[in-house]
Amino acid sequence: MNITPKFLINRELSALEFNQRVLAQALDPAVPLLERLRFLCISSSNLDEFFEIRVAGIKQLIDSGSVQWSSDGLTPLEQLEAIHARATRLVAEQYACLNDVLFPALLAAGIKLLRRGSIGDEDRRWLERYFVSEIEPVVTPLALDPARPFPRIQNKSLNFIVQLHGEDAFGREATLAIIQAPRSLPRVVPLPTDENGMQGFVLLSTIVEEFVPRLFEGMQVLGCHQFRLTRNSDLFVDEEEADDLRDALEGELAHRRYGAAVRLETAVDCPSEIVDFLLRQFGVGAHDLYRVPTPVNLHRLSALVDLANSSSLKYPPFVPAIPRRFAAGSDFFEAIRQGDVLLHHPFQAFTPVVDFLRQAAADPHVLAIKQTLYRTGTDSAIVDALVAAAQAGKDVTVVVELRARFDEEANIELSDRLQEAGAHVMYGVVGFKTHAKMLMVARREPDGIRRYCHLGTGNYHSRTARAYTDYGLFTCAADIGQDVHEIFLQLTSLTRTPKLSTLLQSPFELQRAMIQRLDREAAHASAGRPARVILKMNSLVERESIDALCRASQAGVQVDLIVRGVCALRPGVPGISDNVRVRSIVGRFLEHSRVFHFHNDGDSETFCSSADWMERNFFRRVEVAFPIREPRQRARILAELDTYLRDDTQAWALDADGGYQRVTAPSTAADAVRVCAQRQSLEAYTAGNPLDE
């Protein structure tokens, strides 16, 4: 059975709907005020990346003359038109949220953002001194004339176009100039606290606009207008032709700031003739233009969240739990030999992963360490431990994915560190990103060499482990250790595809294995046996998997999907997906774990994975799904999934029309206890959950 396009949801529009759910957090009075501002900034940053990658890709299809239809039957041009209409509404709601809701609430809470037209004399004197000492020495106005053409504008940079009247020092008539705000300058500037204890802030853009005449002495400034350009930021490297992937990527990184233009944002008061001039300069059209209230870059306001000295307006801090077996001073090897240990971040700490590596680096019985790294951050304790292990004489092999989008430069730098320490650094397989999260330590013990493994759904990144929900499994099971060993051999040498006994791997068998399990559930349902599927992931778009989910639904399988972001499956369509329910959880932590559960007539299977159900994850990446075999741990995951399915605080339900509706408690149960999956997990783990190992 192939689902026809009318029963599918457009991937790009679904991504914009996810951003709408993020924005809803900024409008939710139950969320602390500064966190609401942070959510607004996240929605702006998400939209930037959407244009840099997704819209840029569609524009490339149009430029190439492609008539390739999307899964829901839209041409590239039709998609661009639909995106522009939906994104325009989203942007308007972002600015309404900022100006009509958040700014007044911040002012009432004692946090003031100075805006043009409301700057008092004392503040103006302070701002002028700041402009003269901090901004004027590093800014360079660029007049436009035949000898000074329009400058190259960097991706997402803050710029001003200035309208002028008069002659310069050489008697030349000047009409336009460009000011590019140096990236070294802070975009949010704290003001001295006033006598009432009010915290004041001002945007760099406000200061520049207020004192721009000082940059053009002897001339009349007729107008100063912010604009911002978004460019194609996807990197293209022909891996088949590149002699050295690292060198090829380094060369491409320099061009990312100046890729093809895909979006122009201008201040709403920018005159039409100036807007038209900018459109011509960048070669973009009306569907690429977004005229917005200032500031043109909402994401920069995230600095205010960190600068504001108001802890009561933020989420309360928490201390992630440490499993009992990993208490301070524990022997990690002994703890893992007692049985598998399952970590659930951020409710449980990521530090055991780092400490395990540190102990392995110092242990004289450890012979080798192998690890995949996709994203780790620029200052990584994981990399420090691997460096220490290599320097201690261990055989350290690291598969670094250089093509992790927007982390390429950081990954090149950490590759250099590891190589200098004596580690073997590999860049994976040509044509396939290595997205699997695997760590293996080979240790000599009295009964032979034992492999200790860590497999996860998230990156080896200490900072995101405090903000993303992910599972990580420690095990020394021989069959899993052998499978991990085989996959590392495959990644670093020229061996043939290994036959794995326990793990499921992309691009070879993961998709087929998932479809087989869905069809098995359908067979159970058709035979009158209990059948149920619960899948949790970030994105669901792969067509064959969607077909299999609909087959299962039609056979009577109850299918529950917890899909954070993009979902192309339209649930609840009569005769197609009647038994499919889709919900999205958007809250304090970014939902990132992937879990696949199949009831299997009582002999259930539960897998955690690094893979979403997308074509790229199934067929163009190295991914791993690993089983949760310990009954207590499987019960723990299922209990947590059940809480997600009962959440009536941060959950959104996808309907058959492709829209999302917020899930709320029944109106007949005013005194009912609200369910918030993330809060309940946080409270349970920090209180010492009995399921904690």
Q: What angle do CA 367, 368, 373 make, to 5 degrees?
A: 160
Q: What is the pLDDT of residue 315?
A: 96
Q: What is the mean pLDDT of residues 294-307?
A: 92
Query: What is residue 7's predicted lDDT score, i.e. its pLDDT?
Result: 87
Residue 33 has pLDDT above 90, yes or no: yes
Q: Which two tokens stand for residue 637?
A: 């995951």
Beta bridge partners of 203: 188
Contact 457, 594 (CB under 8 A): yes
- Same fold: 324-499 with 506-686: yes
Exposure string over 584-610, b if 16+ CB within 10 A, otherwise e? bbbbbbbbbbbbbbbbbeeebebbbbb
Distance between CA atoms of residues 277 and 282, nearest Å: 9
Binning pLDDT at 50, 70 and 90, where does residue 316 land?
Answer: very high
User: How far is Cα 195 from Cα 178, in angstroms, rounded to an integer?
Assistant: 38
Q: List % helix, strand, coil for the chain (3-state, nearest 5).
A: 40, 25, 35
pLDDT: which is higher, 439 or 64: 439
Higher pLDDT, 426 or 91: 91
Q: What are the CA-CA distances from residue 338 to residues 238, 334, 341, 607, 637 (Å)?
A: 47, 7, 9, 21, 20
Q: Within 13 A of 245's CA, how many CA atoms are on the CB side? A: 21
Q: At the fourth CATH level, which superfamily is domain 5-313?
A: Polyphosphate kinase middle domain (3.30.1840.10)
Q: Give yes or no for residue 14 having a pLDDT over 70.
A: yes
At 135 the pLDDT is 96
- Cα–Cα nearest to 456, from 480, 436, 428: 436
pLDDT in tens, 561-573: 999 999 999 999 9
Residue 514 confidence (pLDDT): 98
DSSP string, 589-656: SEE--EEEEE-GGGS-EEEEES--BSHHHHHSEEEEEEE--SHHHHHHHHHHHHHHHH--SSEEEE-T
Does 192 score more than 90 pLDDT?
A: no
The residues spanned by each domain of the chain are 5-313, 324-499, 506-686
Per-residue pLDDT tens over the stretch 413-422: 888 889 999 9
Residue 161's nearest CA partner among 146, 145, 144 is 144
Do 266 and 255 contact (CB within 8 A), yes or no?
no
Name the CATH topology of 506-686: Endonuclease; Chain A (3.30.870)
DSSP-assigned beta bridge partners for residue 335: none
When pLDDT is averaged across residues 541-567 and rounded to a whole number, the result is 97
Catalytic residue (one of 344, 345, 435, 599): 435
Average pLDDT along the chain: 91
CATH class of 324-499: alpha beta
Phi, psi of 66 (to 5 degrees): -70, 140
Mean pLDDT of 597-617: 97
What pLDDT score was predicted for residue 330?
A: 85
Under DSSP, is residue 439 helix (H, G, I), strand (E, B) or coil?
strand
287 vs 296: CA distance, rounded Å: 17
Residue 302: CB partners within 8 Å, gap ≥ 6?
A: 37, 38, 41, 42, 45
Take residue 220 and report the two structure tokens written for it: 């009349």
Both tokens assigned to 620 = 């163009």
Active site residue 225: no
Determine the residue type at 147.
A
Summarised one tens digit per residue, pLDDT across range 236-257 is 544 444 344 444 444 444 555 6
Lowest mean pLDDT among 172-181, 206-215, 396-405, 629-638: 396-405
More confident residue, 73 or 146: 73
Q: Which two tokens stand for residue 452?
A: 């200790």
What mean pLDDT is predicted for residues 471-495?
94
The pLDDT of residue 512 is above 70? yes
> Of the given ranges (95-99, 284-288, 534-538, 687-691), which has the lowest mean pLDDT?
687-691
- 3-class DSSP state of 179: strand
Distance CA 345, CA 355 (A): 15
Is a pLDDT exceeding 70 seen at residue 152? yes
Backbone φ, ψ for residue 451 (5° rounding): -100, 125
What is the Cα–Cα distance from 43 to 355, expressed in whole angstroms? 35
Mean pLDDT score, 360-364: 97
pLDDT recorded at residue 255: 56
Each residue of 613-657: pLDDT tens digit? 999 999 999 999 999 999 999 999 999 999 999 999 999 999 999
> Average pLDDT of 427-440?
90
Detail the DSSP E strand segments found in 328-388: 341-345, 366-373
Provide the token pair at 283: 């070669």
Q: Exposed (0-12), middle (13-18) or buried (19+): which is 631, by Cβ within 10 Å?
A: exposed
Please say if the pLDDT value at position 691 is more than 60. Answer: no
User: What pLDDT score was predicted for residue 239?
Assistant: 41
What's the pLDDT score for residue 234? 76
